[in-house]
Amino acid sequence: MIYHDALVPGILLRRYKRFFADVRLDDGREVTAHCPNTGSMKSVNVPGCRVWLSPSDNPKRKLAWTWELIELPEASGQVALASIHTGRANRIVETALEDGKLDALAGFDTRRREVTVDDSRLDFLLEDSRSGRRAYLEVKQVTLLEDDGHGYFPASVSTRGLKHLQSLEALARRGERAVLVFCVAHQGIDDVGPATHIDPAYAAGLHAAVAQGVEVLAYGIGIGWEAGAPTSIFIERALDVRL
């Protein structure tokens, strides 16, 4: 996925009221950016870290900036980038599907978004027009890196996430291929598992879904750079899933 506008760097001052983030740009201006993440943002809401914003010249928008990325220091002295924009995860995965980068989901020639299943809606339906094969996909963005060095989902209690799991489980029971895809949008995360310590109901639901045949895949992001600024975000590698 390519960022259509050049990202602008700054320092995160604070995130508040879920949807707002104050940032000091490198040119000294202090701006308020839209924070496109309603979750707890545990481990990625770190004031003082370098962030990247996308600009907008849409006069109908109340805020001209959107918070996209944050640079997080690692114990090794390196920096890991994380995408805090939850709305990007589906597009990142969709681009990887278009480019044939996900071997586990290869062989489908059509793709539909936002597919209604019973009383829920899942992100994608993949179909092969020749064989009739199909697969239902639900994508979840992961950015929670705990002190034990592992990635977890969810970062807060997610009743909506549990409902999606139950829809996938129902599909698997009917003999359909049902897949949960963790888009791990934090470069410091090497594996992901259920956050039992945060949402035990979701963790139990994940184990129940897997027992009925739901597949769980995890992929980590890469960031493309040009002239010292991020220009794209993409699936770079498959990650281990801890169940």
CATH at 28: 2.40.50.580
CB atoms within 10 A of CB 215: 18
Q: What is the model's pLDDT at position 5?
A: 87
Give domain status of residue 1, yes or no: no
Q: CA Rg, the chain, in Å?
A: 18
pTM: 0.96
Domain span at residue 141 reads 86-241
pLDDT digits (tens, 9 = 90+) for 59-72: 999 999 999 999 99
Give rounded-to-5 percent helix, strand, coil for the chain. Answer: 20, 45, 35
**Same domain, residue pair 195 and 224:** yes
**Same domain, residue pair 51 and 93:** no
pLDDT tens series, the chain, 243 aa: 999 889 999 999 999 999 999 999 999 999 999 999 999 999 999 999 999 999 999 999 999 999 999 999 987 889 999 999 999 999 999 999 999 999 999 999 999 999 999 889 999 999 999 999 999 999 999 999 999 999 999 999 999 999 999 999 999 999 999 999 999 999 999 999 999 999 999 999 999 999 999 999 999 999 999 999 999 999 999 999 999
Tell me how many degrees the CA angle 219-224-228 measures, rounded to the nearest 5.
Answer: 145
